[in-house]
């Protein structure tokens, strides 16, 4: 009983924390979507193709490090689009 109360109180604190940050509460329409995490890139129909290219080719050519930010993800996507245009893509 006490344990349950503790967990529920804790959860309430998390929700208040997020609302205080200006985010929407997690109950309507889910939490942060993949679209938010990938800065909208996954809305593109070729997002999965981009992921395959990134993990199999693009990242290696870029030195092997992970994407460090949304801006880097966008830049990598642009690189992929350009390489496809020039016929060097995956």
> Under the criterion CB under 8 A, does residue 15 sit at the interface with another protein?
yes
Would you say 34 or 43 has its CB closer to another protein?
A: 34
Question: For the CA atoms of 80, 71, 21, 42, what is the dihedral angle to 10 degrees?
Answer: -10
Would you say 21 or 85 has its CB closer to another protein?
A: 21
Q: Which residues, 6 or more positions from 84, have their beta carbon under 8 angstroms from its beta carbon?
A: 90
Asked whether the beta carbons of 43 and 54 are under 8 A apart, the reply is: no
> Under the criterion CB under 8 A, does residue 63 sit at the interface with another protein?
yes
> Of the candidates 56, 58, 60, which has an alpha carbon nearest to the alpha carbon of residue 84?
58
> Under the criterion CB under 8 A, does residue 59 sit at the interface with another protein?
yes
Q: Looking at 16, 55, 78, 88, which residue binds another protein (CB under 8 A)?
A: 55
Would you say 55 or 82 has its CB closer to another protein?
A: 55
């Amino acid at each position: 009983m006490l344990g349950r109360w503790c967990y529920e109180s804790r959860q309430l604190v998390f929700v208040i924390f997020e609302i205080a940050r200006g985010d929407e509460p997690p109950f309507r329409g889910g939490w942060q979507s993949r679209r938010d995490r990938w800065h909208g890139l996954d809305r593109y129909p070729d997002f999965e193709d981009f992921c395959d290219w990134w993990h199999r080719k693009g990242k290696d050519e870029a030195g092997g490090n992970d994407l460090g930010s949304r801006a880097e993800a966008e830049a990598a996507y642009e690189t992929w689009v350009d390489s496809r245009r020039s016929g060097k893509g995956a």
